[in-house]
Every structure is written in structure tokens, then in C-alpha cells.
Structure 1
Amino acid sequence: MPMIGPSAFQGVSPMRLLWCLIACLTFASTCLAADDPSLRVGVAKTVITPAEPVQLAGYASRKDLSTGVHDDLTARALVLELGGSRLALVSVDLIGFYGDTADPLRTAIISRTGLEPSQLFLCAIHTHSGPTLGLDPKTTHANNVRFTEGLKGKLADLVASAIANLQPASFSLGAGSSPVGANRRELRISAKGESSIVLGRNPYGPTDKEVQVLRIVKADGSPLAVAFNYATHATSLGPANLIVSGDL
């Protein structure tokens, strides 16, 4: 049987992927030995706010370094274990893992935790008010290189902490809706009657309003974690903003 690795899921939202993986884990649990049927879940969270001014990602026209912090950036780890198999999902308040930074970060986490590459998934919320990642000093500001280097240890410790906190748990799935997202393909008509599509706000255009929610509780029924997914572009603060923020 051919092996399926992370590259097979490119373009799939992390939350949809997580739902599929949990469904597979649930189905697989019926095939496990009776003495090892339980799902265990571990969670951890850490602050990753840059300690010095950095280049902010998302707008090529924005050249100045950040001037302050509106709200802390965080990284969160969710580790699921069933029948000895583990799955780790790491979500960070960043725009993405550009500049060939995903592999070094993954390597640091895998080296620290012993996870297999196929057991680890990185995702970013795509805020346009967080630091640009980069390890090449020729193309990336020195402050951002230091931030990226520091992220290796922080994410490795984060996932290790989530694994150390594994405990019996159960989950439920749900869905709701939110009006926050907007279609940005705005139709404009000039004085000459010529039409064009611009980057604006189209209240009549299609958008995905669904909020997918995964609720995880401890063995005693108390909350352990909530994971959710919503399709929107985290650009609320705009290109003139120089304040670090997770945005939406």
C-alpha cells in the first residue's frame, strides 16, 4: 500500500484535514486491542511575540519595522494519541512558513519529540501583522532571522510539552456560522459605463460562512481544548499598520 505524506494534503485546510484524521482515528479505534482503546490528547500554548522590532509580513509596500505590540502572538499544539499512534497539529500566529522555513522548524520539532514526519502538521493563521520568517541574512532582516531561529526551540518545546501532558479525552464536532468574512471582488462601473473588478468589498458575493468546531474534554467532562476553522483573510489592520497583532 503506498504511503501518504504531508505533500498529499497541500491546499487542504488544516481543520478539514484534522476532521478527516480524527474520523480515521475513530474508525481505527474499533480495530484496536481491548486493552488500549482510549484516545489521549495533549495541548500546550506559548507566546511567540518578537522581542525586538521586525519586518511585518504580507505587504511588499511596507518597508518600516514594527513599532509596537497590540496583542501577543502565540503558538498552540494539539497532540492526539490512539493505539500508540500520534498526530501533532501546530498552529501559529504568523502569515505562513515562507522562505524555506517549514523544514528547519519541522526538523527541530521532530528531533526533540521523536515524531515521524507524517505525524506533524504545521499551520499558520495568515495574519498580515506578524513577523516575516526567514533564515537567510541576505534576504531577511537580522531581527527576523533571530526571531525565526528562536522559533525552532519554542515550537520544539511546545510540542514536547503537549506530549508530556497527554491524558484521556473525548471529542465532539460541530458547526456554526459567522458574518465576519467578506467577498472582496467588488464590481465598479466608471462614468463611461466601463466595468472592472477591484479589491474591495462585495456584500453580495459568495463566501464560506461556516465555522467548524472541534471540542475536546477531559475524562471528567471539563474542557481541555477547542479547535476551530474559519475562512477569512486576516488583513483587518491593513498595509499602513506597524503594530504586531494576530489580527482576527
Structure 2
Amino acid sequence: MRFGAAKDLITPDRKTFMGGYASFFNNPFVGIHDDLFVRALLMDDGKAPLLFISVDLLFHDFKLTRKVQEYAKSRYELSADHLFLAYSHTHGGPAVEGYDDVSQHSPEYEEFLLSRIFSCIDRVMVNCFEGSLEYGSVSGDWNINRRLFVDGAVENMPNPQGLKDDRLHVLRVNDQSGKARVILFNYACHPVTVRDTPYLSGDFPGRVCHLLEAEYFGAMGIFFQGSGGNSRPKVTTKGGEFITCTYDEVDEMAAAITLGIKRLCRTSGALVPVQLDLAALQFAVKLELDPFPKPRVAEAASDANGFPGLRQVAARVLHNYEDMKAQISLPGGMARLSESLYIAYMGGEPCYEVKLKLEQLFPGVTLLFFGYADSTAYIPDDSIIAEGGYEADGSALEYGLKGSIKQGTDEVMAQAYKQAFEELRLAGEA
């Protein structure tokens, strides 16, 4: 089995507007707290190499992934189905195309970003080595559900009894001497620890990567965000509300996560060998929308008390309302690492209930879940749609959608992912 690893700096070299919460205020960043990176991991079983790319940004639209897939196809003959790109979802990154308003993102940064991703792919291809792969997981109480019923309505508040994904998955790549060369970790939790603080930062995922790389000299840490749509860092809760933390508190959270990973790696038998048998398939899931009444959009576009960034998005939806489809196309995919180890891949901000229902479709299989493959929207399951709240309805206009996602997502998702899984399973038996 062969592997490759590389990372490249993507911190802006010019002032840009901030993404995330800070984009609501139309303000540029004022400084760089810690750098942002693109990281790439290549797995090759001699038959069908897979390339996983993680980017320290809030989001981008899927057009960027298509450009990257086209580059890898033309230069290295890598199938588009076999390249998976996702975002850490740090709220400490710059504004980018596909999510932030057109007046906020920088064409110069977009060109710089694309060139750095291409460079990272080139370098992963020249940094390949024979090695082995191990898998394990650890449970950690670092996140909290953020959907709380208050007076019959769902509010964005800490809910200690709410569902959340406590499982942190680890894939460790070793060279032939047994030395760790890559530690991939997959966890579901919004990187919003410092909220709209106007400094560039990779938030807790970036810091965990730093700490892992310091612990395992010569190794690369790489993070893939899970089904974190309805969870936030537990450290941000205080007095029944969410607060803005300091970077010291980010460091404490990251140190706790890193300690959990290190203990896992040091525990005899906790990591099990994985014999690669690679295959992958990507697809699009069509989800129907329930259109907002046009007056609601017009009200948001003219709300003097609203955030400037949100007014701009609503105004764009209002202008294009008649031509917009009441449907979205959600990127999806599955990758088989071995007979019993798979990765489900999804765009938008999937909620934990979405992952739970997909896991139940594949008994006996360990399923890692890589969300945030693009900026589609929050992805709720049918139960969340019925309950309402920010993930179901309140955020849709912020994403520039004509309406919120309709009931029926559970069945549509099940059909798409079951079909992909069956195709990959049969390919493995051939």
C-alpha cells in the first residue's frame, strides 16, 4: 500500500473580508492569529487511488471542487469520483465565492487559493511512500447540541440532553518503519469558538493539527468535519447561552482532543490494521424546497436592523426570485477503504440525525462521515424539518435559497446512499 501527504499555506496575502459570523458586518480581517492550510492525503492500493483534500475555510461552492478534480484528472489521470474535497468550516477564514456575497470575496484570493490547492496535489504526488493504515475511534465530550425547545419553539441555545456525535474517528498512516506520517481525525463540531473575532484562524481543528504535528515529528495532521450542523463546542456554553471564547480556550479544547487521540494511538490494540481495497462513487442528491413567500424575502432585504451581509443576500434572492428553482443539488458520495470501513461524503452542513440514519442503513460497517463538501445549506432530516428552527428554516435565506428544504429528505438520502453502497460492495466482490 502506498500513501502520500502534503500541505500548503492558504492564508491570504492581502486584506480580504472575513467569512463566517464576521461576514455579516462587512469587515475585513485585522490580523492573522494562526495560518490556514490545505492538506491532502493520497491512498493507493495499486488499483484505484483516492485523494482526500481538507481546506481550512468556512465553505466554497462545488465549482471549486470541479476545477480541482479536472486538474487532477488532466495531470494525474485521477478520476473525479476518487477526489474528495471538504472544508473544516472554520469561521476564522476569509470570505470566498459560493457562500459570501459577491461584494465580499476577492478574485485575487480565489486565484491564489486555487493555485495553492493545485500545488498541494503536485506535492502529494511526489511525497509518496510504502506504508500501512490503522483505524480507531475515541469518545469525547467536547461538543454540545444547540437546538433547545423554549416555549414550544426551537432556539439556538445549549441543549445538554440533545443528540450529538461524541465519536472521534482516527486514521493513522505509518511508514514501513512504523513511524506515524499522517493522522486523520474526523469529528462533528462547529469551529465557532471565537465567533466573529476579526482574526484569521483555523480554530480548534487547525490547532489540533498543530499539536499532532508537534507530537509526531514529520507527520501531518488532517481534519475532516463530520455531521456538525447542530453542534457547537461545549467550551462556548456559559449560563445557558453561547459565548465568545478566547484563543486560550481554543487551545485548551484542542489540547483535550489531542490528548484523546494520543491515548488512542498509545493504547495497545486500540488501532486496528486496515487492508486497503479502494473504490469510490460520487453523485448528486436532488432536494425539493418549500419557497418562501416573496414578501418575506423583501422584508429581509430591507431590514434596517439586520446584518448588512444578510440584507445583501436577501436582495439578491429577491432580484432573482422568479428565475430560481425550488430545488437544490446536494453533492454526495461514498468511498470504500476496506470491506468493513467506508466514508460517506456530503455537501452543506449535515445535522447529526442525517448521519445516524445513514449509519443504520449499513449494519456491520464502520462509517466515517465527511460533511461540508460545499456551501449548499444546512441539511436537516425529516424530524428537524418538522420541529423547525434555524437548521430547518431560519438559515435557508442566509444561504441564498428560495425556500427551506421540504419533508422527504430521509427517503431521498437513503435511496442515494444505499445505491452507492451496493455498487461499491459489488465492485469489491468482482
In structure 1, the residue corresponding to 2:96 is in which secondary structure? Answer: coil
Q: CA separation in 1, counterparts of 2:179 and 2:62? A: 41
Q: For the residues of structure 1 that align with 2:35 and 2:121, how far apart are their CA atoms?
A: 19
Q: 2:88 aligns with which of 125, 131, 152?
A: 125
* AA partner of residue 102 (structure 1): T
| Match in the other structure for 2:112 | 150
Supply the RMSD in Å over aligned alpha carbons: 2.1
SS state at 1:162 partner = helix
CA drift of 1:69 comes to: 0.9
What letter is aligned with 1:57? G
Give the alignment partner of residue 147 of structure 2, picking from 179, 185, 197.
185
Structure 1 87/163 Cα, relative in aligned 2: closer, same or farther at 3 Å?
Answer: same
Distance in 2 (CA, whole Å) between partners of 1:175 and 1:99 is 29
Q: Percent identity?
A: 29
Q: Give the number of aligned pairs.
A: 202
Amino acid at match of 2:58: I
Give 2:27's match in structure 1, choosing from 46, 64, 70: 64
Residue 98 of structure 1 pairs with residue 61 of structure 2: yes
1:173 corresponds in structure 2 to 135
Matched, 1:197 2:170: no
Match of 1:45?
A: 7
Q: Is the 8 A contact 1:99 1:133 kept in 2?
A: no
Deviations 1:115-134 (A, max 9, x none): 22122110111111111222
Bigger RCO of structures 1 and 2 (CA < 8 A, at least 6 apart): 1
Q: In structure 2, what is the Cα distance between the partners aligned to 1:87 and 1:94?
A: 22
Matching residue within 33, 44, 53 for 1:81: 44
C-alpha contact (below 8 Å) 2:8/2:119 kept by paired residues: no
Other-structure match for 2:184: 227
Task: Tell me the secondary structure at the aligned position of residue 182 of structure 1.
Answer: strand
Unaligned 5+ residue runs, structure 1?
A: 1-38, 189-193
Verify the 8 A CA contact 2:96 2:104 in the aligned structure 1.
Answer: no
Q: How far did residue 102 of structure 1 move?
A: 2.7
In structure 2, relative to structure 1, the CA distance for the partners of 1:151 and 1:111 (3 Å cut) is farther
Shift of 1:141: 3.7
Residue in structure 2 matching 1:247, options 203, 221, 224 = 203
Give, in whole Å, the separation in 2 of the partners of 1:154 and 1:121: 16
Distance verdict in 2 for CA 1:242–1:109, change over 3 Å: farther
- In the alignment, the residues of structure 2 paired with residue 163 and residue 85 of structure 1 have an alpha-carbon distance, to the nearest angstrom, of 14
| Structure 1 SS opposite 2:142 | coil
> Is the alpha carbon distance of 1:226 and 1:243 closer, same or farther for their aligned partners in structure 2, counting shifts above 3 Å?
same
**Structure 1 SS opposite 2:63:** coil
Shift in alpha-carbon separation, 1:213–1:161, aligned structure 2, 3 A: same
Deviation for aligned residue 1:161:
0.9
TM-score when scaled to structure 1? 0.75
